[in-house]
Structure 1
């Protein structure tokens, strides 16, 4: 899985929307066209079904095309951030301090605990959205309650980074030696 399903659908739908503005004809020129598009792509939520709504959707197409065609991540990020800001969304795509692109949903001057809580919540939201909650565990080491995030390909990580795995392996080795 390269993207989550909703991301894939969002990309396919954005492309389809931009593609309604064909080289030969505009396939989103009437309210009936808009209704057909909304129905086909299963958009939910309130619909005004008026000319202002149609013109707003049509105006979005060149913006999306520009973002789609841009090869510079700074340009795309700025465009994404502008769309989010215009919509009054809180998440922001940022890159700073040697970190590549990631989400921020709090102002940079928010209290550290708040920023940490929000970043953890956003990461957990992705785990939930990805259906990967089974990757969040408690260490299998005896007398250890540390949390483990299993990022292994085969989902086999059972121990924390505090040496519990080594201790379990040594104990198993000694038990085998004692039994022979």
Structure 2
């Protein structure tokens, strides 16, 4: 479900950033400048040739904020809003009204040259727009027992509980086996 207030690709980038950390599995795919460059090439603003350890540190801090927002939104919407607002202020986010292909829309960018500030402005504003248009319950953490991946539910009915169909299937199979096993 796309909305005039947010880009589904920006929402997907926020989720992908949060999920570069897999706490249950102990995996972190944002440990080096090269990994940051790869992430930005795949999801974010164009990676600069001169990314530094400072950029990596900022991206990891942003990941923590995005993950906190996704984990808290459905249980502490005011706390999630506070995190979003603080992050948007730090990134010096600026909304811009644009007209393209006969359609008006807003884009939030940063007024600095730092790629991580642009990433923060884009991802945090997308999450804020989802909360404002669909509600905080659309942000969450996978209900799978061995998964802490995050997700944003942009579906029509808003009933998503799992990060992927794989996790949903795993939970379904486990529930079936639990019902069928002798007691």
Please indicate the TM-score interval, normalised by the length of the shorter structure.
Answer: 0.3 to 0.5
TM-score (norm 1): 0.46
The structure richer in strand per residue is 2
**Relative contact order higher in (CA < 8 Å, ≥ 6 apart):** 2
* Bigger radius of gyration among the two: 1
Give the TM-score normalised by the residue count of structure 2. Answer: 0.45
